[in-house]
């Protein structure tokens, strides 16, 4: 249930409603807008209904949230889009974030060179994996802690917020020391204990859609994080499995406007993993930005031919500025501007 408070509701009236919700074993999730305060009562619907909050002082309306996901629902956003500030960069609303960097951290030179190139071209955040989810257990699994240290150095030198993947809860503390955004990869979208743990950490999350996950399953996964009190969840469409074999995955661009209808959370698109091929990355990025995505996460490498992982889909670092400028123009079509430091 969602309790919509009257525009001038006092702090005491809001606290009273929260106390009543908590008294029946439900959680109260408060979202203070410019005009009104919304209180999500998350728990047993019948218990909350029995409180008859409609008649309580300061309450304008009690609305059932019909979707199985509550905190991530558009209704919970009260009709407004969430805007997150991460290391001085904004994402959501009118703010478009370009997140760029290599698939995996390979060496100091590779990380620093890529970070410099993407920063100079207007990227808002730097991506790079130290822990890599590889299909083959024999493939390079990432540099681990040594990789995290290189990301920390890139952040120190270039001042960009870091987006990096967490696969195992045992690495949480090490990842949190460096990450400004923790990426939960497609293969872990339904790793519920990992989601709850990252929810408790409070660190912003980029949650990738599973290879065969529905949008409702994605939003339910986001709910696991939000439920722990972590409000900063970005949803990421990265291509899904379909019958088509002409490309690696099918980028579900319809997910962009539909997720923006269903949820207040920012929507990011990953064209690199969907395509698996460099030549498709620009057209997919333009389409995503024009469709209203709040950001793009894209792979870039100084020398893709020598990349340890995902080289064929990586944009060349020296071509990244032209790419970013084109995406910036497409984002403008959807009324969004690139966010910078």
The site for Mn ion (CB under 5 A) is made up of 103, 310
* 215 phi and psi angles, rounded to 5 deg: -65, -35
For ligand PEP, the closer CB: 74 or 310: 310
Q: Does residue 185 interact with ligand PEP by CB under 6 A?
A: yes
CA 339, 102, 236, 77 dihedral sign is negative
For ligand PEP, the closer CB: 158 or 273: 273
- The residue with tokens 């002409």 is 246
For ligand PEP, the closer CB: 2 or 143: 143
Q: Does residue 238 interact with ligand PEP by CB under 6 A?
A: yes
Q: Does residue 186 interact with ligand PEP by CB under 6 A?
A: yes
For ligand PEP, the closer CB: 270 or 294: 270
Q: Does residue 133 interact with ligand PEP by CB under 6 A?
A: yes
**Rounded least distance, CB 240 to ligand PEP, Å:** 10
Q: What is the DSSP pairing of strand 84-86 with strand 89-91?
A: antiparallel
**Rounded least distance, CB 323 to ligand PEP, Å:** 18
| Long-range contacts (CB closer than 8 Å, 24 or more residues apart) made by 88-93 | 88/161, 88/341, 89/124, 89/125, 89/161, 89/339, 89/340, 89/341, 90/339, 91/124, 91/234, 91/266, 91/268, 91/294, 91/295, 91/339, 92/265, 92/266, 92/294, 93/294
Q: What is the CA radius of gyration of the chain?
A: 21
**Rounded least distance, CB 78 to ligand PEP, Å:** 31
Q: At what angle do helices 320-333 and 278-290 cross, to 10 degrees?
A: 20
The count of residues interacting with ligand PEP (CB under 6 A) is 10
Q: Of ligand PEP, Mn ion, none, which one sits near residue 133, judging by CB under 5 to 8 A according to partner kind?
A: ligand PEP
Q: Of Mn ion, ligand PEP, none, which one sits near residue 6, judging by CB under 5 to 8 A according to partner kind?
A: none
Q: Which of 172, 207, 197 is nearest to 72 (CA)?
A: 207
Contact pattern from residue 101 through residue 130 relative to ligand PEP, giving x for each residue in contact according to CB under 6 A and a dash for the rest: --x-------------------------x-
**Rounded least distance, CB 16 to ligand PEP, Å:** 44
- The residue with tokens 């969430």 is 82
For Mn ion, the closer CB: 237 or 310: 310
């Amino acid at each position: 249930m969602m309790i919509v408070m009257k525009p001038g509701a006092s702090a005491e009236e809001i606290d009273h409603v929260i106390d009543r919700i908590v008294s029946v074993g439900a959680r109260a999730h408060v979202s203070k807008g410019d005009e009104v305060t919304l209180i999500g009562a998350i728990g047993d619907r019948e218990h909350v209904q029995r409180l008859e909050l409609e008649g309580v002082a300061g309450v304008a309306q009690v609305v059932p949230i019909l979707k199985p996901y509550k905190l991530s629902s558009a209704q919970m956003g009260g009709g407004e889009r969430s805007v997150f500030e991460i290391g001085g960069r904004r994402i959501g609303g009118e703010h478009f974030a370009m997140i760029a960097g290599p698939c995996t951290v390979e060496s100091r030179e590779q990380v620093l060179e890529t970070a410099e190139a993407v920063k100079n071209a207007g990227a808002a955040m730097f991506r790079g994996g130290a822990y890599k989810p590889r299909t083959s257990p024999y493939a390079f699994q990432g540099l681990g802690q040594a990789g995290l240290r290189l990301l920390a150095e890139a952040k120190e030198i270039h001042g960009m917020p870091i987006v990096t993947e967490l696969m195992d809860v045992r690495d949480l503390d090490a990842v949190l020391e460096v990450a400004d955004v923790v990426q939960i990869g497609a293969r872990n979208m339904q790793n519920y204990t990992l989601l709850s743990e990252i929810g408790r950490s409070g660190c912003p999350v980029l949650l990738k859609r599973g290879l065969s996950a529905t949008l409702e399953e994605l939003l339910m996964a986001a709910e696991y994080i939000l439920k722990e009190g972590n409000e900063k969840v970005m949803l990421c469409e990265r291509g899904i499995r379909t019958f088509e074999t002409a490309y690696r995955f099918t980028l579900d661009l319809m997910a962009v406007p539909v997720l923006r209808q269903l949820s207040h959370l920012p929507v990011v698109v990953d064209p690199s993993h969907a395509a698996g091929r460099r030549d498709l990355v620009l057209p997919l990025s333009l389409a995503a930005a024009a469709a209203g995505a709040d950001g793009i996460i894209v792979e870039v490498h100084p020398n893709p031919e020598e990349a340890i992982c995902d080289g064929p889909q990586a944009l060349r670092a020296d071509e990244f500025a032209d790419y970013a400028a084109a995406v910036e123009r497409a984002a403008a079509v959807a009324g969004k501007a690139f966010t910078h430091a």
